[in-house]
Amino acid sequence: MKNLILLFTAIIFAIPFGIAQDTLTTSLLWEISGKKVKSPTYVFGTMHLIPNDDFLFPEELQEKVKGSDILVMEIGGLSEQMKAMQLMMLDSGTMFDYFTEEQLDSLFDYTEAELGFDEAKMRMAFSKMKPFVLLQLFTKDAFGENPQSYEMSLEKIAKAQEIEVLGLETIEEQMGFIDDLSSEDQVNMIMEALRSDKDDNSETRKLIDMYLSQDIDAIHNFTVSSGMSSPEFEESFLNKRNKDWITPIKKIIKKKKAFIAVGAAHLGGPLGVIELLKAEGYTLTPVKL
């Protein structure tokens, strides 16, 4: 369940939040400087959902948000997210037309045994929705009864401080990346998620521990090496979005002290936000949390 947890828990402590080392080389939080950047400006890697008992949001991180002129996230706050359900609906046909009979048998067996949704309930609730919705359903209980959201916590601070909130993309654009995936790719990802959940219930824990280790390259590699991933998925959902974000980020950080928060899988890797900003001539410095 590697990719779907990062992407949808929305694509999130035995391991402490900070990294004890003399020279910090990686972090979830990076300061951006140089090239007339309005300072201080930061980029932070989020996990969209995380179990309540694991959620750490240290005071120093909160203060950096409060000291910003603008909060920049993947999409511009909860008002954008509320549009998502409409965009999840199919124009015609049903979700279950995408699956073979054998796949449907496995799907309904799983949802009834693990989620309490029998075939009749599944067909009634999800027939008119796009297949990708099932990935969100599979994460329903992965983070406990009261999971925390970094995005919601950041937006709450911004509203309390009357800080502007801006999105790097609209919900329509974000959903467009999902629509670009072929129906075959979507079905394969769903079936792989189902198999992974049956075979290994520790994937969520592995991902949380990796996130809290703050090794952004490891998080990126974990995401793209999933059995659910593909070169097309990586290019569309990660690399292209990373590249598209750089131009608006450059404009924002020249004028305002910004706190930028995107999914942690977008930070690492050769085409991650950190390396792309470095290639533009900015200095990126990891900040200890």
Q: What's the maximum distance between 2 C-alpha atoms anywhere in the chain?
A: 59
Instruction: Name which of 61, 45, 31 is nearest 269 in CA terms.
Output: 45
- pLDDT the model gives residue 197: 61
- pLDDT the model gives residue 84: 66
Neighbours of 89 (CB within 10 A): 10
**Helix, strand or coil for residue 116?**
coil
Regions of the chain with pLDDT less than 50: 1-21, 199
pLDDT tens, residue by residue, 34-83: 988 999 999 999 988 888 888 879 999 999 999 999 999 998 765 555 56
pLDDT tens, residue by residue, 89-105: 888 889 999 999 999 99
| Main-chain dihedrals φ then ψ at residue 6, nearest 5 degrees | -70, -35
Contacts of 231 (CB under 8 A, 6+ apart): none
